[in-house]
Homo-oligomer: A and B are copies of this chain.
Amino acid sequence: MKIDKLVGERFKERPADCVIDSHALMVRGGYMKYVGNGIFSQYPILKRISKKIENIIREEMDRIDGQEVLFPVVMPASLWEESGRYESVGSELLRFTDRNGSKMILGMTHEEAAVHLVREYGLSYTRYPFMIYQIQTKFRDEARPRGGMIRVREFTMKDAYSFHTSQEDLEQYYDVCYKAYERIFARAGVPEVISVASDSGMMGGNLSHEYMLLTPVGEDSIAICDSCDYRANMEAAESITENAPVAERETLTKVATPHQETIEDVCKFLNAETIKSVKAVVYQLNRTDEYVIIFIRGDLDVNETKLTNHLGEDVHPAVIDLESGIVAGYIGPVDLDAKDGTIVLFDKSLMGADNMVCGANDAGYHFTGLSMERDCPEAVYIDLAKITEGGVCPKCGKKSIHISRGIEVGNIFQLGTKYTKSMNMQYIDENGEKHYPIMGCYGIGVGRLAASVCEAKHDEYGPIWPITIAPFTVHLCCIRSDDPEAKKTADDLYAALQAKGIEVLYDDRDVRPGVMFSDADLIGAPIRITVSPRNMKEGVAEMATRDKRFSEKVALDSVLETTMRWICTLTEEIESVADAIK
List residues of chain A with CB under 8 Å of any chain B CB: 4-9, 30, 33, 35-37, 39-44, 46-48, 50-51, 65, 67-76, 78-79, 91-92, 94, 96-100, 102, 104, 106, 113, 116-118, 120-121, 126-127, 130, 132, 134, 136-137, 139, 141, 143, 153-154, 156
Contact = CB atoms under 8 A, between A and B. Distances in A.
Contact of A50 (B70, B98, B132): B70
Contact of A117 (B41, B72, B116, B139): B41
A132 B8 CA distance: 11
5 contacts: A7-B121, A44-B69, A47-B68, A98-B141, A99-B143
Contacts of A41: 69-72, 113, 116-117
Contacts of A46: 70
A154 B36 contact: no
A99 B141 contact: yes
A79 B136 CA distance: 23
B94 A69 contact: no
Given A35-B79, A43-B117, A72-B154, 8 more contacts: A6-B67, A36-B79, A41-B72, A44-B132, A70-B156, A73-B154, A94-B99, A99-B141
Nearest to A117: B41
A9 B37 CA distance: 41
Chain A interface, >50% SS class: mixed
A578 B78 CA distance: 45
A35 B96 contact: no
Q: Which of A7, A75, A132 has the most CB of B within 10 A?
A: A7
Nearest to A30: B121
A99 B118 CA distance: 32
A464 B377 CA distance: 77
B117 A33 contact: yes
A41 B68 CA distance: 11
Contact of A7 (B36, B67, B74): B67
Q: Which of A43, A136, A156 has the most CB of B within 10 A?
A: A43
Number of copies: 2
Nearest to A78: B36
A39 B75 contact: yes
Contacts of A79: 35-36
A73 B116 contact: no
A317 to B, nearest CB: 19
A156 to B, nearest CB: 8
A63 to B, nearest CB: 13
B72 A44 contact: no
A157 B97 CA distance: 23
Contacts of A100: 37
Contacts of A69: 7, 41-44, 47
Given A41-B71, A73-B137, A121 B35 contact: no
A70 B53 CA distance: 15
A127 to B, nearest CB: 7
A82 to B, nearest CB: 12
Contacts of A96: 94, 96-97
A67 B44 contact: yes
Given A7-B121, A47-B68, A35 B75 contact: yes
A139 B73 contact: yes
| Nearest 5 CB-CB pairings of A with B | A96-B96, A36-B76, A42-B70, A44-B67, A91-B99
A47 B135 CA distance: 11
A104 B97 CA distance: 13
A400 to B, nearest CB: 41
A8 B50 CA distance: 29
A74 B139 contact: yes
A47 B75 CA distance: 19
Contact of A116 (B33, B76, B143, B156): B33
A9 to B, nearest CB: 5
A106 to B, nearest CB: 7
Contact of A130 (B7, B47, B72): B7
Contact of A127 (B4, B30, B97, B127): B4
Contact of A121 (B9, B132, B154): B9
Contact of A120 (B9, B74, B102): B9
A1 to B, nearest CB: 8
A40 B75 CA distance: 9
A94 B100 CA distance: 11
B136 A137 contact: yes
B113 A8 contact: no
A118 B6 CA distance: 11
A74 B106 contact: yes
Nearest to A79: B35
A74 B5 contact: no
